[in-house]
């Protein structure tokens, strides 16, 4: 069974640009969550999508947005990039809810210059 895949693995952007990250969940998983990981703040929850609808949201500004497609694949977009957005962005999938194990992808390392 293939795991969670994320593309691209590495990305370098400059301030003010926008970026789109992609996540393909494990087959059969309908929930996809996104996290930002930085050395200072650790893993912080961005949002969760379930059946193409945002089900939960963390405390991030509106520059961070996401969507989920009918095949459960998800994308995350960050507009007007800031230096502080440099981080590892992790996607995780699970079948439905908190009773199911959440599986993480390897992450996309975003560097903003």
Partner 1 sequence: QKEVEQDPGPLSVPEGAIVSLNCTYSNSAFQYFMWYRQYSRKGPELLMYTYSSGNKEDGRFTAQVDKSSKYISLFIRDSQPSDSATYLCAMIPYNTDKLIFGTGTRLQVFP
Whole-Å CA distances, 91 to 14, 15, 86, 113: 23, 23, 16, 23
Q: How far is the CB of 67 from partner 1 (least distance, A)?
A: 18
| CB closer to partner 1 out of 66 and 105 | 105
CB of 21 to partner 1, least distance (A): 13
Q: How far is the CB of 94 from partner 1 (least distance, A)?
A: 9
Tell me the three state secondary structure of residue 85.
helix
Binding region for partner 1 (CB under 8 A)? 4, 31, 33, 35, 41-45, 48, 55-56, 58, 90, 92, 97-98, 101-107
Residue 50 or 112: the one with the smaller Cβ distance to partner 1 is: 50
Contacts for 66 with CB less than 8 Å, ≥ 6 apart: 34, 46, 47, 49, 54, 74, 75, 76, 77
């Amino acid at each position: 069974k293939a795991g969670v895949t994320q593309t691209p693995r590495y990305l370098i952007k400059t301030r003010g640009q926008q970026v789109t990250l992609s996540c393909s969940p494990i087959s059969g998983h309908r929930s996809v969550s996104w996290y930002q990981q930085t050395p200072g703040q650790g893993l912080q929850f961005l949002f969760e999508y379930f059946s193409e609808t945002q089900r939960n949201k963390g405390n991030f500004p509106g520059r961070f947005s996401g969507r989920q497609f009918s095949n459960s694949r998800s994308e995350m977009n960050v507009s007007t990039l800031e230096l502080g957005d440099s981080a590892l962005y992790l996607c995780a999938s699970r079948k439905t809810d908190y009773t199911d194990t959440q599986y993480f992808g390897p992450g996309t390392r975003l560097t903003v210059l």
